[in-house]
Structure 1
Amino acid sequence: MSRPVRIGNVSGFYGDRIDAAREMVEAGEVDVVCGDYLAELTMLILAKAQDRDGGVGYARTFLTQVEQILGSCVERGIRIVANAGGLDPAGLADAVRAVAAGQGITARVAHVEGDDLRSDLSAISPPVEGAPVSANAYLGAWGITEALAAGADVVVTGRVTDASLVVGPAAWWHDWARDDWDALAGAVVAGHVIECGPQATGGNYPFLDEITDRRYPGFPIAEVAADGGCVITKPDRTGGLVSVGTVTAQLLYEIGPPAYLGPDVTAHFDTIRLEQAGEHRVAVTGVRGSPPPQTLKVALNETGGYRNTMTLVLTGLDIEAKAVHAEQLLFGIVDRDAFDDVDVRLLRFDRPDAASNAEATAHLRITVKSADRRVAGRAFSNATMQLALGGYAGFHTTTPPTDASAFGIYRPARVPRSAVAHTVVLPDGERRTVADPPAFSPTDSQVSAPVRIGEQSKGATRRVPLGAVAGARSGDKGGDANVGVWARDDAGHAWLASFLTAGRVRELLGSEAAERDVEVFELPNLRAVNVVVHGLLGDGVASATRPDPQAKGLGEYLRSRLVDVPEHLLP
């Protein structure tokens, strides 16, 4: 058995910390550097960039990182793998070659393509209407594996799954077979942990008291062993924390049911076991895998129209009455029915007898959408300014009148594997079709694991924030929001799993979740439950009108709610 392969992540999104790559190469002692650049929203951004004259459809920041590290990586045998190719992986591969030539470096560059389905949408289900600006299947890891086996120093891809950036190098390093389900599933879990960069090393972590080194967190490293188990760590002498808690938080980020479907394997998150294996070292073991589904996930981005938001400031007394008056006046000036959608939210930040002017204010946030840019543009925002002298007492806005901006709509779909030409282009130019897995699961559905409903404690309770006994991390999955909630010990999990039902989630999240379909899944090995609130984010982040369009703060809101907690669980 070969030693574990050390894979370091240097990007969690397009626009992440540029210096992470140089820091990882200099201090991480890694075999592979990987980076994730492609969120669902990023594909829309890249499509717009590609559509402009002279525009490119890949993540430009990756090239800046390559300029900084390529020489060191080639000299030391460190491979670079990234999905920064976006909508033009071939173009990015050429750009990397140009960087290498400009620095006098001989670098073997390969790329993976075939995910872009815009030229033929006929096999996608549900059927696609119109012409989406992007339509990308989520490819797996084996194209990356074949490129590395052919000697590539740099492999760039389009839309592969985030975890494939780790699965591909691990399968190459350990020479896994395509049906080594458990090993592949373990690598998927490792990839899921490190794909969002420092979120695994103390970033966005709810228990700040646990993080004694408050410097910017070091980016994560996964040491993936031959059996698929791994150790999560970070470069020495970098900030942050790697603990069972920080790894748990990232494992729960943006997932659904415990059966985590991927193009190469289904990883069963309810089999994951975590153990602190040293300072800033967490061992991940026990992951079981099974065959993947027969179809691939597809991310569609469509043009949605135009939107505009104006925020009116309300101060002092009679906040609700002022808000009603302002809304009535505004839609007496402009016809409410002229817009395709109107979203009005009163955001209460004010407090009685405030110590400062700012603390006495609330916001009336009004967003309109229309297929016609003129309707949603200055005609709307200028109308709000007509309230300046004829509206409520203390009228002012947070911005001057603004023009409308285009927004997109995200739609998830699926496509048969036979309709996707997963292709790797090797450093010598050879084009090779990447074979499908040798077996598939009998269903494309994620099997729900119902939450165990136990008896509530009959002992004394105290009304405290849920966050006194539980951590949470939340995010977006298209139009759905996910909140992973975990306890710090077994007793806390036993209570949490019986307490946090779908009905309780609706109650705690308030009016915007009251009528939503809510699913709750138990992950006992992680002392956690995962909550999915369907439809909370509408048509995805690009079109959402809620103030937190990606549900990043939803978990912290849930933790802030007062609940009756058994006293024996409290510190």
Structure 2
Amino acid sequence: MTVLRIGNASGFYGDRFDALREMLTGGDLDVLTGDYLAELTMLILGRDRLKDPTAGYARTFLRQLEECLGLAHERGVRIVTNAGGLNPAGLADAVRALAYRLGLPVRVAHVEGDDLTARHPGSLAAHAYLGGFGIAACLREGADIVVTGRVTDAALVTGPAAAHFGWGPGEYDRLAGAVVAGHVLECGTQATGGNYSFFADGDIRRPGFPLAELREDGSCVITKHPGTGGFVDTGTVTAQLLYETAGARYAGPDVTARLDTVRLTQDGPDRVRVHGVRGEAPPPTLKVGLNRLGGFRNEVVFVLTGLDIEAKAAVVKAQMTDALAKSPPEEVRWELARTDHPDAPTEETASALLRLVVRDPDPEAVGRAFSGAAIELALASYPGFHVPQPPGKGAPYGVFDAEYVDQGAVEHTAVLHDGRRIPVPPPHDTLVPHPVDEPPLPEPLPADLPTRRAPLGLVAGARSGDKGGNANIGLWARSDDAWRWLAHTLTTDRLRALLPETAGLPVTRHPLPELRALNFVVEGILGAGVASQHRFDPQAKALGEWLRSRHLDIPEVLL
């Protein structure tokens, strides 16, 4: 059976610079992908484009390619990346110029049609999430490098797979398998031990980047190059499958993948077989990510040391409230982090942090007056007053919103190396996704088992992340008995009790028995999205680890 080996060399804009070379030299590959885009990245690139209309793409990729383009050409590895960001045509031209300068006969194509900014006045960037068939068209016409703008992360894998195996738009099970493979690869080393709850199971000091061995039926094996760091097992793959997903239906432009059908099998050291994935027709609409400036913010952190922490916090809160009373910012948030310890052996461990964040549409309201009010308290407030650094001028912050447009309203186009333009039609069949029925859960453990108060993380792993203003927390059990307990114990009410910050917010639970997993979606906990920096952990990266640290009564047989 023919195998297509697709690797990943980037999970975000700023990932390991040497990864492109490592993946090209570490073992056999047919296609190498790089994911450079996230909601926050689109805002950053939008601000870059305001300063320079020729900007708007990930310049890091171009510098990486300068070192590695000859190597990729020599080894016959095709490269597919969304590093084009807001300007895929500009990056494609820059790659052509680089290839010409290096004397390499490289055919560069790009995909466009995602940019809907002109239809959304007031936005810095408005881009539809395209599917993989534009990428497939470029590859079928001989492209060596394909540059895209905003496509779904999984499209970087579904496109090459569709081109290689000749899949058509209606082959939903195969496409769904490729979507799952793409979702596992998209965040790079998160599939090889990075950000993994049970990181002590292997050496993650420098994890290798992942690759998928795809087969024509849509199944694959997730692995990594021999001799690279990190590790791949059913746990690392499960964690990444749960990342930034919600229910059983994972809808995309080409197919709706059924995550409740995914089966994982350890296929040897650092090899996990992914199989059984079923697919359904895609939805009739495309998601559009809207990035705009939300206003201006500023912050200051007061260090409170030693005794009377609460009283010291009350003093400085009252002083700042009085100082800002004439022109108070629109939003004022205080957070006290009790990092202090009694009878501490060092000054730092005797100190707590009081964080004040202000927001306002007017930069003056969070600028000099705010900063001055904080610093003027230096000799006139609580004993031991100091700040790690003085506040500066108010800085702009972004807001992310999602809208949806009909698939046919977007001019998805493959632009080939010779200038030909191939339109990519919208899917012929679509289906509005709806929640699946609650799956049958395993029998609960006997109710009379002796229990011990212990952290949830002793029996469950977690991976959490952001989607706009929402966060997801995926948890999975490491054994069948732990799953029997987790499935019946961790209800939405129990989650709210363990994570008081979720109180009053809509929480939805999605069981995924094939993965021995629960996926919770917490709506609104991130405010207007990561760029608004609504909370201490604005992308909810550690929300799952906080949950794992909470104590509850766990059957001793599981411990």
TM-score range, shorter-chain basis?
Answer: over 0.9
For 1:117, the equivalent position in structure 2 comes to 116
Q: For 1:41-80, what aligned pairs fall within 5 Å after superposition? A: 41-53=40-52, 56-80=55-79
After TM superposition, give the deviation of residue 417 of structure 1 in Å: 1.2
1:149 aligns with 2:140: yes
After TM superposition, give the deviation of residue 318 of structure 1 in Å: 1.1
| Distance in 1 (alpha carbons) for counterparts of 2:131 and 2:387 | 48
AA matched with 1:180: E
For 1:201, the equivalent position in structure 2 comes to 192
| Distance in 1 (alpha carbons) for counterparts of 2:370 and 2:385 | 17
AA matched with 1:35: G
Instruction: Describe the superposition over 1:16-69 as per-residue Cα deviations: whole angstroms up to 9, x where unpaired.
Output: 111001010011310000010110110000000011036500000111121122
CA contact (8 A) 1:258 1:448 kept: no
For 2:99, the equivalent position in structure 1 comes to 100
Change (3 A) 1:110 1:55: closer
What secondary structure does 2:531 align onto? Answer: coil
| Distance in 1 (alpha carbons) for counterparts of 2:28 and 2:358 | 51
For 1:546, the equivalent position in structure 2 comes to 535
After TM superposition, give the deviation of residue 78 of structure 1 in Å: 0.8
Q: For 1:96-245, what aligned pairs fall within 5 Å after superposition? A: 96-121=95-120, 130-211=121-202, 213-245=203-235
Change (3 A) 1:480 1:449: farther
Counterpart selection for 2:383 from 369, 372, 393 = 393
CA contact (8 A) 2:439 2:513 kept: no
For 2:370, the equivalent position in structure 1 comes to 380
After TM superposition, give the deviation of residue 322 of structure 1 in Å: 1.0
For 2:492, the equivalent position in structure 1 comes to 502
Percentage of matched positions with identical amino acids? 55
Change (3 A) 1:516 1:316: same
Change (3 A) 1:438 1:28: farther
For 1:561, the equivalent position in structure 2 comes to 550
Structure 1 stretches lacking a partner, 5+ long? 122-129
CA contact (8 A) 1:185 1:266 kept: yes
Q: For 1:425-504, what aligned pairs fall within 5 Å after superposition? A: 425-441=415-431, 443-447=432-436, 449=438, 452=441, 455=444, 457-504=447-494
Q: For 1:323-338, what aligned pairs fall within 5 Å after superposition? A: 323-335=313-325, 338=328
After TM superposition, give the deviation of residue 272 of structure 1 in Å: 0.4
What secondary structure does 1:481 align onto? Answer: strand
For 1:124, the equivalent position in structure 2 comes to none
After TM superposition, give the deviation of residue 490 of structure 1 in Å: 0.9
| Distance in 2 (alpha carbons) for counterparts of 1:172 and 1:102 | 29
CA contact (8 A) 2:62 2:95 kept: yes
CA contact (8 A) 1:271 1:525 kept: yes
Q: For 1:302-313, what aligned pairs fall within 5 Å after superposition? A: 302-313=292-303
Deviates more, 1:66-75 or 1:6-15: 66-75
Counterpart selection for 1:521 from 500, 510, 524 = 510
CA contact (8 A) 2:442 2:484 kept: no
After TM superposition, give the deviation of residue 315 of structure 1 in Å: 0.7
CA contact (8 A) 1:451 1:520 kept: no
Pairs aligned (count): 558
| Distance in 1 (alpha carbons) for counterparts of 2:13 and 2:144 | 22
After TM superposition, give the deviation of residue 437 of structure 1 in Å: 1.8
For 2:87, the equivalent position in structure 1 comes to 88
AA matched with 1:532: V
After TM superposition, give the deviation of residue 236 of structure 1 in Å: 0.9
| Distance in 2 (alpha carbons) for counterparts of 1:446 and 1:303 | 33
For 2:276, the equivalent position in structure 1 comes to 286
| Distance in 2 (alpha carbons) for counterparts of 1:449 and 1:35 | 36
CA contact (8 A) 2:299 2:391 kept: no
Q: For 1:523-538, what aligned pairs fall within 5 Å after superposition? A: 523-538=512-527
AA matched with 1:202: G
AA matched with 1:566: P
AA matched with 1:391: S
For 2:400, the equivalent position in structure 1 comes to 410
CA contact (8 A) 1:258 1:449 kept: no
| Distance in 2 (alpha carbons) for counterparts of 1:448 and 1:103 | 57
After TM superposition, give the deviation of residue 260 of structure 1 in Å: 0.2
Q: TM-score with structure 2 length normalisation?
A: 0.98
What secondary structure does 1:56 align onto? Answer: coil
AA matched with 2:489: F
What secondary structure does 1:439 align onto? Answer: coil
AA matched with 2:362: D
Q: TM-score with structure 1 length normalisation?
A: 0.96
| Distance in 2 (alpha carbons) for counterparts of 1:535 and 1:454 | 33
CA RMSD of aligned residues (A): 1.4
Deviates more, 1:241-250 or 1:370-379: 370-379
What secondary structure does 1:87 align onto? Answer: coil
Change (3 A) 1:455 1:231: closer
For 2:26, the equivalent position in structure 1 comes to 27
AA matched with 1:363: L
CA contact (8 A) 1:260 1:446 kept: no
Instruction: Describe the superposition over 1:457-506 as per-residue Cα deviations: whole angstroms up to 9, x where unpaired.
Output: 32111110000101011111110111110110111111111111111111
CA contact (8 A) 2:408 2:426 kept: no
What secondary structure does 2:377 align onto? Answer: coil
After TM superposition, give the deviation of residue 337 of structure 1 in Å: 5.8
CA contact (8 A) 2:54 2:90 kept: no
After TM superposition, give the deviation of residue 447 of structure 1 in Å: 4.4
